[in-house]
Structure 1
Amino acid sequence: ATLPKAPVSQAASLPASTSAQAAAVVNLAEQQVGKGYGWGANGPDSFDCSSLVQYVYQQAAGINLPRTTYDQVKVGEDVPLDQLQPGDLLFWGSTTAPYHVAIYVGNNQYVNAATPEQGVILQIISSYYYPTCARRVLQ
């Protein structure tokens, strides 16, 4: 079942430049849904979780993020999980050694390269698989 696209209207409360960047990040992240899972070796055709984040931020916002989840969690500012904005990064695992990253797209949804079987998908934040922390890269 395909989930509905998340609106980016929540970004309207951000400063104009940040709002435009967030909308671009969300839009490009959503365009990757349906692509395969891989280690980034196939360019923009397959991603693991951190290469997806790295690709989207580079292409949509011109921001160069580190390649690994372990290093991406060190970028930006910590954000309480009840104050997420589109474009924020979600992490699972410990804050010092996360094992997964995704891009929050609004409406309690995120885009991530989930598993080799699932590839890049849009998911809803659930209590079953709740992020550990979030980081705001777009300022």
Structure 2
Amino acid sequence: MRLLFVLFLTALLSACSSAPSTPSDAGKTADLASAVATKTQLIQMHREWKGVPYRLGGKSKAGIDCSGFVQLTFDDRFGVQLPRTTAKQKEIGHSVSKSQLRPGDLVFFKTGWSTRHVGIYLGDSQFLHASTSQGVMISSLNNSYWKQKYWLSRRP
């Protein structure tokens, strides 16, 4: 009987000794789930639009520019209204460092003296955008061209 009591007490104490999850743990889990859901929606958008050619001012599968693609993606996938131009898109939300990027953040590039480019961060140094040379595609922030042209990031 005493052995049974010791086993019961041991089981009870060991169950109580595990640390309860903290609000920050719950927040991390929610952030991870949100990031995965966002990335999934962005990958689906890529599948539907991959290769659609770049066209300045365009916003259809006949041709689309970078800011139009970002605006359309946020409206279609997340129900979020963004401004139409890169100049206005760079003013929304808040600044985020390159090391703190999460899926859905906007990444901006200075591609010329007065030319700007925008894409949507996917994770793992990848971003989705409408390229002037290859249309809608996924590129790497580590690519020598994009690495050199990186300017800033915003979280809408």
2:41 is the alignment partner of 1:24: yes
Task: Determine if contact 1:80/1:134 at 8 Å carries over to the other structure.
Answer: yes
Show structure 2 runs of 5+ residues with no match. Answer: 1-27
TM-score (norm 1): 0.74
Query: 3-state SS of the aligned residue for 2:83?
Result: coil
Runs of 5+ in structure 1 lacking a partner? 1-10
Identity %: 32
**Does the 8 Å CA contact 1:51/1:68 hold for their aligned counterparts?**
yes
1:60 to 58, 72, 77: 77
Give the whole-Å Cα distance in 2 for the aligned partners of 1:46 and 1:12.
38
* RMSD between aligned residues: 2.7
8 A Cα contact 2:38 2:103, kept in partner? no
Number of residue pairs aligned between Structure 1 and Structure 2: 124
Q: Secondary structure at the match of 2:74?
A: helix
- Partner SS state of residue 122, structure 1: strand
Compare CA radii of gyration and give the structure with the larger one: 2
CA distance in 1, matches of 2:63, 2:107: 20
The higher relative CO (CA closer than 8 Å, separation ≥ 6) is in 1
CA deviations on 1:103-133 (whole Å, 9 max, x unpaired) are 1111211111111x31111111126222211
Aligned residue for 2:109?
92
* Shift in Å, 1:19: 5.6
1:133 aligns with 2:149: no
Counterparts of 1:8-47 in structure 2, within 5 Å, are: 14=31, 20-21=37-38, 23-41=40-58, 43-47=60-64
CA distance 1:78–1:107, change in 2 (3 Å): same
Q: Structure 1 stretches (4+) deviating beyond 4 angstroms? A: 15-19
TM-score by length of 2: 0.67
- Structure in which a larger fraction of residues adopt helix: 2
